[in-house]
Amino acid sequence: MIRNTLGGLLVAGIVASVGGAAFAQEQPGTLFAKTIAKCPSPQLADVGGREYKCLFNIEKFSSDPDVAFKEMWGKIKAASAKAGFKVDEKEKKPLKVERATKEYFDTPDQDLWKKGYIVRLTTKFKDGEETLAVSVKAVTEDVVRCMATPLTVVGATGKTEAEGNVGLGPQGLLREYIEKGSSFPVTLAQLGTMTLGDFGKFMPELLKLGLPAATKLVGKKAYTYRVKPGAVVLPGTEPCGISMEAWAHKDGGKPFLIDFSYGYGDLDFYESKEVHVAGEAFMLKVINGELKDLLMPNSGTFGGSKVRVLMNRPITN
């Protein structure tokens, strides 16, 4: 989610593909219209906003993350201005890099993914201290099932939120899925030996997937660099926070992925057409327009998702 709400939290979520296939879109607002036609009110009443994301071609930028972010930010600002959009830059340290690791846990055969779940452990580093976040996301194409899933947290105080996620699909057209999540703090000691049961004690539904609680999960880790340089200004909402994040296979290594995202929240999904149209317009005119040549080859195959690339899980519908 675009808002920075995950520091030191355990997050559990469900992802639903709206309509299954990539939506044909030629004009801003087409995706929103198809989303609410497929999911009429009140199905998305608890969806508070949207995040828009894309994957850029890392080979188009410096292998040094600091330099790469500076290059990308310059191109974003120039392309936005050319397309008629206002982008604000932070007054202080807009390109300050945040470091973290993100490790995705599954069985060697990716049984959790096959059953529709993703388990992630995030470790953030700030001022010599570490904070942990574990994310558990369930993947389903059934939006009604997604929104109806309680995602009950036990043993801690949880927070639940939902948003739409918009990216480019296999045909280079915008597509959207719904993500719902519950969050709460966690420590490394609480996760024991990283078995399914260690995660399931916080999210009991994980223990109802037909896998033994003692199932040992193996991790696939990415070392991340992230900057939050400013915001896209869209009508009808607060400035939309921008994030740019690069992933490497080892600490201090050359990034193999780099993405760009922006988003908004705390609004009525159905009554915010102006915001959604403007958000889609930025994706179409700036990202898939002025900056189209910078997109990762076949990026639509992964819908803008870094984890799909890491886990080699292309979109199949």
Q: For residue 309, what pLDDT is reported?
A: 94
Q: For residue 22, what pLDDT is reported?
A: 38
The predicted-structure confidence for 125-161, as pLDDT tens digits, reads as follows 988 899 998 888 867 778 888 887 787 889 877 787 8
Cα torsion for 134, 140, 142, 144, to the nearest 10°?
-10
Question: Number of C-alpha atoms within 13 angstroms, CB side, residue 309?
Answer: 24
Q: Does the residue 306 lie in any domain?
A: yes
Q: Does the residue 317 lie in any domain?
A: no
Distance, CA of 266 to CA of 238 (rounded, Å): 10
What six digits make up the tokens of 181?
Answer: 């999540």
The predicted-structure confidence for 22-49, as pLDDT tens digits, reads as follows 333 348 999 999 999 999 999 999 999 9
Q: Does the residue 240 lie in any domain?
A: yes
Q: Does the residue 4 lie in any domain?
A: no
Extended strands (E) in the chain: 9-17, 47-56, 86-89, 98-106, 117-126, 129-140, 159-168, 174-185, 218-227, 230-233, 240-248, 255-264
* CB contact at 8 A, 51 and 165: yes
Helices (H), the chain: 30-38, 65-82, 111-114, 143-148, 196-200, 273-282, 306-310
What six digits make up the tokens of 18?
Answer: 């709206």
Q: Does the residue 89 lie in any domain?
A: yes
Q: Does the residue 158 lie in any domain?
A: yes
Mean pLDDT, each 10-residue run in order, the chain (317 residues) = 44 51 60 94 94 97 97 98 98 96 96 87 90 81 81 81 89 87 86 95 93 97 98 97 98 96 97 97 96 94 92 86
3-class state of residue 168 by DSSP: strand
Q: For residue 21, what pLDDT is reported?
A: 39
Distance, CA of 131 to CA of 92 (rounded, Å): 24
Q: Does the residue 140 lie in any domain?
A: yes
Average pLDDT, the chain: 89
Residue 138, amino acid: A
Q: For residue 11, what pLDDT is reported?
A: 47
Q: For residue 16, what pLDDT is reported?
A: 58
Q: Does the residue 144 lie in any domain?
A: yes
Question: What letter would DSSP give residue 91?
Answer: S
- Backbone angles phi and psi of 121, in degrees to 5: -110, 120
Distance, CA of 13 to CA of 62 (rounded, Å): 34
Largest CA distance in the chain: 56
Total domain count for the chain?
1
Q: For residue 7, what pLDDT is reported?
A: 37
Distance, CA of 160 to CA of 48 (rounded, Å): 11
Domain that holds residue 289: 9-310
Q: For residue 14, what pLDDT is reported?
A: 56
Closest alpha carbon to 237 in 210, 274, 205, 283:
274
